[in-house]
Amino acid sequence: MYICNCFGVTDAQIKKHAADGACTPRQIASACKAGTDCGSCVRKIQALLGRGACPRRELVEQGETVAALTPRVELPDAA
């Protein structure tokens, strides 16, 4: 189902971006432009994000810090 008619963004695309870490309408907009033209889809995006499309949101609401959710990258020793 199309969520953003202006840019042709579907609910599946919104859910994919949410699974990739976009947890707010602004982050979704950065990922695919949805919600940046007429704005009529922003409430639909909020509803999708509020219905579990964002897997990390539950951890944040449980008190996890952003640092705990961020994957750690090992850097080589500078010798």
Q: Please write the tens of the pLDDT for every residue from 16-33.
A: 999 898 989 999 999 999
- Confidence tier at 2 by pLDDT (50, 70, 90): very high
The average confidence (pLDDT) of the chain is: 80
φ, ψ at 14 (rounded to 5°): -60, -45
- pLDDT, mean of residues 52-74: 54
CB neighbours of residue 28 within 10 Å: 29
Those residues with Cβ within 8 angstroms of residue 18's Cβ, 6 or more apart along the chain or in another chain: 28, 48, 49, 53, 54, 55
Distances, alpha carbon 20 to alpha carbons 17, 65, 75, in Å: 5, 17, 23
pTM of the model: 0.64
With a pLDDT cut of 90, the percent of the chain lying above it is 54
